[in-house]
Amino acid sequence: MRKLFGKLKEGLTKTRQNLSDNVHRVLTGRKKIDEETFEDLEEALIMGDVGVGTSERLLDRLRERVKKDRIETGEVLEEALIEEVEQILLGGEGAVTVPEAKPRVVVMVGVNGTGKTTSLGKLAHYHASNGERVMVAAADTFRAAAVDQLRVWADRAKVEIVSNESGADPAAVAFDAVSSARSREMDVVFVDTAGRLQTKVNLMEELRKIGRVIGKACPGAPHEVLLVLDATTGQNAVIQAKQFGDVIDITGLVLTKVDGTAKGGVVVAISDELGIPVRYLGLGEGIDDLQPFDAKAFAEALFKADTVSVENEA
């Protein structure tokens, strides 16, 4: 876990310089917590792409903590901030619990350029490497390149793929894959979908159709819908998440390109605005660089660059 923490810390370097260094500068040495402290802290959070709404809610919680826990110094307030950020990243009290199922059907959604198909391939590799029988469905039939790309990833991950020619009905491909996975007792099915621009109403309707058809092939499915977001887009990722949430019930987030941005604070904003937990985090281009998200490790790597929690030392 120490190696993973180190990679996480390194990947968050740009965000830390933009967000946590400013937070640390505001709070270090403060011997008195007053309204000026909160105003300076709010500015640091907003500048770090945490967003206005999320920053205000964080400050409200911290004001309560100051009164309840009698916090008197900036250092202790910073520890409280880390704890509150961790709770947000867990998805809050309304976070969706993913049901146990076999096969577990996971639909991947997101706009073009977020790294959706690549993330699917890495997730297939991750689960296959852990001994699960994995199938992927190439339901992004709008682009021939997307089907070819997923075939390459299926080969790399050594998992099975269900595909059709370009232009085929995406819902039909998803139905065939899920039906096949059920009959062959696969553990998990990842369904790729078109990189839908949130303004394309017809494509959003297609996404709804895929969800309905999958439910017919496997009652209760899809069991998880993962929205892939590019962290480098900052607050625009929050808008995308809200608009996709209007179409389909999103159960988790995949944040890509976190290592290439100073806008990693948006991870906190998205989780807070939608109450959706981050499931996976992308910190590189390698096949092993997409890992299950650990809220505690993320919060500590972001705000406590030189320390590692007891759990992460194990």
Annotated binding residues for GTP, written as ranges, equal 110-117, 192-196, 256-259
CA dist 20 and 32 (Å) reads: 20
Beta strands in the chain (DSSP E): 104-109, 134-138, 160-162, 188-192, 224-230, 252-256, 278-282, 290-292
Binding residue numbers:
110-117, 192-196, 256-259
**CA-CA distance, 305 to 12, in Å (whole number)?**
9
Which three-class secondary structure state does DSSP give residue 278?
A: strand
Residue 302, SS3 per DSSP: helix
- Do 182 and 204 form a contact (C-beta atoms < 8 A)? no
Sheet holding 278-282, edge to edge: 160-162, 134-138, 188-192, 104-109, 224-230, 252-256, 278-282, 290-292
Length of the chain: 314
CA distance 138 to 166: 10
Q: At what angle do helices 266-274 and 74-89 cross, to 10 degrees?
A: 60
Is the preceding peptide bond at 292 cis, omega within 30 degrees of 0?
Answer: no
Contacts of residue 3, defined as CB under 8 A and 6 or more positions apart, other chains included, come to none
| Cβ–Cβ < 8 Å for 210, 139 | yes
Token pair listed for 163:
């595909």
Token pair of 15, please?
Answer: 């965000």
